[in-house]
Amino acid sequence: MAGFRFLHAADLHLDSPLTGLTKKSEDYAVRLDDASRQAFDNLIALAIEEECRLIVIAGDIFDGQWRDYRTGLFFIGRMRRLRQAGIRVILIAGNHDAENRFASRLEYSDVRLLSARRPESVVIEELGAAVHGRSFPQRDVTENIALEYPAPVPGLFNIGLLHTACGGSEGHASYAPCTLEQLANHGYDYWALGHVHTRQVLSTAPYIVYPGNLQGRSIRETGPKGATLVEVTDGRVAHIEHRALDIVRWAVEDVNLSGMEDRDALLPALQKCVEGACACCDGRALALRLRLAGSTPLHAELAGTASALREEIETLAAGIASGIWIEKVEIRTSPAGASTHADPSIAGRLRQAVDTLAAEGWFTERLEARLAEIRTKLPAGAHADVLFQTLKAEGLERARVLALAMIDRGQG
């Protein structure tokens, strides 16, 4: 049996917005707006460069909120390019594709979109391979559809294409649930999964793989993003490797300020951290969150001047490279010498009162009321839901930090 190479991709979410970069510059905005398309172009270029014979896409090509038909035309145009290069494409629709009313209207003549009615198999004689899979008929698929997948075709390399939260995954809806043991015992040589945006190799005998998404969309999707390149020899997986294809890299860096007394020492420490993060992104644009932590005499000053500090860091980052965006600066420091024991002083009792109010929901109630006022002025949508949940979680902690900082400054 001759060998071949194929690419396994998933969760393209073409033209889905990158969230959390609300104050980006105009130049940076242009880079972000086309990030998902450029990452997809990188996938196509990789397939051609590596002389792949097949690409399998495990769902969520489009985003559920997609409303621009030009996104679909872009995708179809790129599929035509692959066909002209002699590269087969087999894909399934995921939950976001099924939700989108435009996706079903596209003409998929250059690719093979597997059926949503029942599992379907495609035999590729020239490769000695068979691909099995089923598209989502609607967004919420809560049954174990993999139970209906056909048995492997004897003598062929069998690929299972499945959009699933296999075994459950934090932050992802439990669509098409199944177990690792079920997939491993089905008899396929490679399971090409989608839905989970973090790359995971769940098994190597057989290979059961999430490639992750092509382009990170928020600070919750850090690190290299791309697709999995698979080499098949004599009907077996000979080698797999992750290939980074992203345009914008998201990263979170912790900066320990424990014991730091001098403000002049702060920026050099931050510069070293930013330079390290930049060196790890391989020349890509970088969206960076900095988390400042540790017990330091600078705590009150940092918490009270957070906006000015961010501007200083942004200026510092601009001097390091043009493609760095400071997504957020989190102040997680604590006062120097802070004790877990009860402090009988007025400042100590005030700190205890602030913590008690936070624990009892006092801050939360007022924050929710204010956010509710703001939300009535914005359009509805899934992205708005994520935004307001983030504001609620981070706003509570920010209010608490500022209150404690005011106490510390007053004590000084």
**Which candidate, 19, 32, 8, places its Cα nearest to that of 324?**
32
The per-residue pLDDT for 334 is 85
The per-residue pLDDT for 344 is 61
pLDDT beneath 50, residues of the chain:
340, 382
The per-residue pLDDT for 382 is 46
CA–CA separation, 13 and 58 (whole Å):
12
**End-to-end alpha-carbon separation of the chain, Å?**
78
Q: Are 154 and 188 in contact (CB under 8 A)?
A: no
CA–CA separation, 259 and 278 (whole Å):
26
Element (H, E) at 209: strand 207-210
The vertex-95 CA angle with 94 and 98, nearest 5°, equals 85
The per-residue pLDDT for 167 is 74
DSSP 71-100: HHHHHHHHHHHHHHTT-EEEEE--HHHHH-
The per-residue pLDDT for 340 is 45
Q: Rounded to the nearest 10 degrees, how much is the dihedral formed by the CA atoms of 388, 393, 396, 397?
A: -140
Using the structure block, give the residue that is written with the tokens 């071949």: 4
Q: What is the CA radius of gyration of the chain?
A: 25
CA–CA separation, 9 and 92 (whole Å):
11
CA–CA separation, 409 and 341 (whole Å):
21
- Give the chain's domains with CATH numbers: 4-244 (3.60.21.10), 247-338 (no CATH), 343-412 (no CATH)
C-alpha dihedral sign at 218, 223, 224, 227 = negative
Q: In this predicted model, what pLDDT tens digit does every residue of 43-78 receive, in sequence order? A: 999 999 999 999 999 988 887 665 677 888 899 999
Partners of residue 256 on adjacent β-strands: 293
List the structure tokens of 185. Answer: 């015992």
List the structure tokens of 405. Answer: 């900082």
Which pTM was predicted? 0.79
